[in-house]
């Protein structure tokens, strides 16, 4: 063998070993700089390294050792530590990795659908709250959206220190909850937001949860599916649909973006507004908008176009040049950088193609969201625009593999990779997407809680949830059926599960918005429940809940728990609102009601002599209510038959 072959063989054997040994131990994304580890509990740490490699973890004078298995997987546990920091966590294996600015404190998972996902920036008093969000001991981790047919290896995300620069896109409910805990406990707080708008409860449960459930066959089908193939098929179906959709858009076929008027019959609309409110109710399709503006000169400057939120998708052009596009982000403000070469001195033409396939459509938001910014100039673009309908004919849309694609897929993608990270408990805001199946939710939601606790292996940790807010139009009919009221009833039933707590939002909603802006009080009420259930504080943490109901002559006497020092009418009036009773016929009438004593309410109706049914706040939106306890917390909606 010549020397060249000997050298080649030697490098072939040695170089891969050197390259592998230089790689640090790989840990899940939940371990990063600025993380918070759960105090006063053993600290689980896990990852992957070279097979059979010895691993050591060290932090704050404590250490723990283990050895990776034959596939390189390892897990160890550091001894429990008191709250404090910042510390450095060092993991030594085939090489060494250091995590800096590590805190030890209280860690909470915050999960659910869009009302948990809803950001600080889109909530009440956003500018003021963001400016004041300087809380270096609060740390934020947002799990990126991810579905998986089998448990995923990891999530995407990283810990961030809470500040005005980081809090704006974080979950508002989670942030306000954590902020209240920080004020009470004065320890570091770690908040892990893993939520997805529009999701049902079923995708958030593991396969084990459905072992004895009627959905088991569907779970088995998903587990056996080829994820990559399903994604490819979904993308191709979407591509084919989009081609057909765009073929019907006259604006694209005639290239309306290239011309100022692009033909006749352009009409006027004042922007911002949803086009349903501007004379086009029920319109789904494509509408083109045009706005002209003038520039005295075009300089080599940074030009930024701001358009506010657009429902659902847009393609935006300047003088015929595409400058930006956003797909299916109905509530996201647009911000596009404009190359100066696309602008010209004098008249410029801004064209926005808006695509909407359901619900509201158009350029909406606030007038101040629409402007062109360059140098020290802010050129307003709200007001009169021209518009023309490109198509109102949408071909049948193929099902898209997304957040509601069957049971387990969100648990697999966004919960399982976090386990067994040490946590104190969970906050949950979800249920809107299950509102039409309240009876089933009464089965599934407790199943999910027990499933998470079983998978985490940390005992019956606190699980705190938000009851659905009041939503939609109020009604004068006490007999109107309500899916949302039924779902709230299922949530109340879930309080029978050990170490659960419920924060009411029945007085915090908005009739016309499924995403009420007041997230501060939602977070505060969740924090009240945490202070009691997780931390043993002596306080009134829940609204009044019906305990017993009995008939005396022609009146119903109700007894409540969680009253504090006593029940009251919040508005200082004598009469209570929101009660209805019925006789044997089951036909409800609005009732008179008064507080009697510390924990009782008396309800009656002059025309009902033998009441047999009673309900309170039992509607999608029960309107103004006034029964509260001494802490000012609203009473819990209920419906019951009277023995």
171 domain residue, yes or no: no
User: Tokens for 476?
Assistant: 């004068």
Q: Centre a 10 Å sphere on the Cβ of residue 220 and count the other Cβ atoms it contains.
A: 12
pLDDT of residue 5 exceeding 50, the answer is no
In a domain, 237, yes or no: no
Mean pLDDT in the chain? 92
Burial class (CB in 10 A: 0-12, 13-18, 19+), 189: buried
Question: Average pLDDT for residues 293-305, to the nearest whole number?
Answer: 91
- The Cβ of residue 202 has, within 10 Å, a number of other Cβ atoms equal to 27
Picking from 356, 391, 426, the residue at the C-terminal end of a domain is 391
H or E element in which residue 448 lies: helix 438-456
- On whether residue 618 sits in a domain, the answer given is yes
Q: Give the pLDDT confidence of 443-472 residue by residue, as tens digits.
A: 999 999 999 999 999 999 999 999 999 999
**Residue predicted with more confidence, 312 or 92:** 92
Strand ranges inside 476-612, DSSP E: 500-503, 545-552, 555-561, 568-569, 579-582, 588-590, 592-596, 600-604
Asked if residue 564 is part of any domain, the answer here is yes
pLDDT at 435 over 90: yes
- Summarize pLDDT for 158-202 with one digit per residue, the tens: 999 999 999 999 999 999 999 999 999 999 999 999 999 989 999
Q: Is 455 helix (H, G, I), strand (E, B) or coil?
A: helix
User: Which pLDDT band holds residue 404 (cuts at 50, 70, 90)?
Assistant: low
Return the pLDDT at 66.
98
At 282 the pLDDT is: 87
Q: Is the predicted pLDDT of residue 329 greater than 70, yes or no?
A: yes
191 Cβ neighbours under 8 A, 6+ residues apart: 107, 108, 110, 138, 139, 140, 141, 170, 171, 174, 175, 177, 178
Cα–Cα distance measured from residue 628 to residue 571, given in angstroms and rounded to the nearest whole number: 10
Residue 55 CA to residue 68 CA, distance in Å, equals 7
Give the pLDDT score at 4. 39
pLDDT at position 205 is: 96
Structural domain including 554 reads 545-641
Task: Give the DSSP H/E element, type plus range, for residue 333.
Answer: strand 333-338
What CATH number is given to the structural domain containing 287?
Answer: 2.60.120.260
DSSP assignment string, 100-122: EEEEEEEEEEEEESHHHH-BGGG
Q: Is residue 550 part of a domain?
A: yes
Domains in the chain, number: 2
In a domain, 15, yes or no: no
pLDDT at residue 231 in the model: 73
Bond preceding residue 420 cis, omega within 30 of 0: yes
In a domain, 488, yes or no: no
- 429 assigned to some structural domain: no
DSSP string, 181-231: HHHHH-S-EEEEEEE-TT--SGGGS-GGGGTTSTTHHHHHHHHHS-HHHHH
Residue 506: φ, ψ to 5°: -65, -15
Residue finishing a domain among 332, 365, 391: 391
259's tokens: 């011309």
CB 534 within 8 A of CB 108: no
pLDDT of 263: 63
Q: Is 485 left (phi over 0), alpha (psi -120 to 50) or beta?
A: alpha
Q: What is the DSSP string of 67-89?
A: E--TTSEEEEEEPP--SEEEEEE
376, 391, 406 — which closes off a domain?
391
Using 50, 70 and 90 to split pLDDT, how confident is the model at 572? confident
């Amino acid at each position: 063998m010549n020397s060249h072959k000997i050298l080649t063989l030697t490098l072939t054997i040695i170089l891969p070993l050197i390259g592998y040994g230089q790689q640090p131990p790989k840990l899940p994304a939940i371990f990063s700089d600025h993380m918070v580890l759960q105090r006063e509990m053993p600290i689980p740490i896990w990852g992957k390294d070279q097979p059979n490699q010895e691993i050591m973890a060290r932090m704050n004078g404590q250490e723990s050792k283990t050895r990776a298995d034959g596939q390189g997987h390892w897990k160890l546990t550091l001894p429990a530590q008191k709250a404090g920091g910042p510390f450095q966590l060092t993991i030594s294996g085939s090489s060494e990795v250091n995590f800096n600015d590590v805190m030890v404190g209280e860690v909470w998972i915050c999960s659910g659908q869009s009302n948990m996902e809803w950001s600080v920036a889109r909530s009440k008093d956003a500018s003021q709250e963001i400016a004041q969000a300087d809380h270096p001991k609060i740390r934020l981790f947002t799990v990126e959206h991810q579905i998986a047919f089998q448990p995923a290896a990891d999530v995407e995300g990283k810990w961030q220190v809470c500040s005005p620069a980081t809090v704006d896109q974080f979950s508002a409910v989670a942030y306000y909850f954590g902020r209240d805990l920080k004020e009470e406990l004065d320890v570091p707080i770690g908040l892990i937001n893993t939520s997805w708008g529009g999701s049902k409860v079923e995708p958030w449960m593991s396969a084990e949860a459905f072992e004895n459930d009627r959905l088991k066959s569907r779970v088995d089908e998903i587990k056996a599916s080829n994820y990559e193939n399903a994604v490819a098929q979904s993308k191709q179906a979407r591509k084919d649909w989009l081609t057909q959709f765009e073929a019907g858009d006259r604006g694209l076929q005639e290239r309306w973006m290239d011309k100022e008027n692009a033909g006749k019959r352009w009409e006027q609309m004042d922007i911002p507004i949803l086009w349903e409110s501007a004379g086009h109710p029920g319109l789904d399709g494509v509408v083109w908008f045009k706005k002209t503006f003038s520039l005295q000169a075009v300089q080599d400057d940074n030009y930024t176009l701001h358009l506010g939120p657009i429902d659902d998708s847009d393609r935006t052009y300047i003088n015929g040049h595409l400058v930006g596009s956003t797909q299916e982000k109905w509530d996201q403000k647009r911000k596009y950088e404009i190359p100066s070469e696309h602008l010209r001195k004098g008249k410029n033409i801004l064209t926005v193609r808006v695509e909407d396939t359901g619900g509201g459509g158009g350029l909406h938001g606030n007038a101040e969201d629409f402007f062109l910014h360059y140098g020290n100039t802010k050129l307003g673009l709200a007001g009169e625009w021209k518009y023309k309908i490109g198509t109102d004919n949408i071909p049948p849309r193929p099902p898209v593999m997304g957040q509601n694609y069957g049971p387990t897929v969100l648990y697999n993608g966004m919960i399982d990779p976090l386990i067994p990270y040490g946590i104190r408990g969970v906050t949950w805001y979800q249920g809107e997407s299950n509102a039409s199946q309240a009876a089933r939710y009464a089965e599934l939601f407790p199943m999910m809680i027990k499933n998470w606790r079983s998978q985490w292996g940390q005992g019956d940790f606190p699980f705190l949830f938000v009851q659905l807010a009041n939503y939609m139009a109020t009604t004068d009919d006490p007999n109107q059926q309500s899916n949302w009221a039924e779902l709230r009833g299922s949530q109340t039933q879930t309080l029978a599960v050990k170490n659960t707590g419920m924060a009411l939002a029945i007085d915090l909603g908005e009739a016309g918005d499924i995403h009420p802006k007041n997230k501060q009080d939602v977070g505060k009420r969740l924090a009240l429940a945490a202070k009691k259930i997780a931390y043993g504080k002596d306080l009134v943490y829940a609204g009044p809940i019906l305990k017993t109901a009995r008939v005396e002559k022609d009146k119903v006497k109700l007894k409540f728990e969680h009253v504090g020092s006593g029940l009251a009418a919040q508005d200082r009036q004598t009469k209570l609102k929101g009660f209805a009773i019925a006789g044997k016929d089951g036909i409800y009438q609005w009732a008179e009601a008064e507080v009697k004593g510390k924990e009782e309410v008396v309800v009656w109706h002059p025309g009902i002599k033998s009441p047999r049914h009673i309900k309170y706040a039992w509607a999608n939106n029960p309107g103004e209510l006034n029964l509260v306890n001494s802490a000012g917390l609203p009473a819990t909606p209920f419906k019951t038959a009277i023995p």
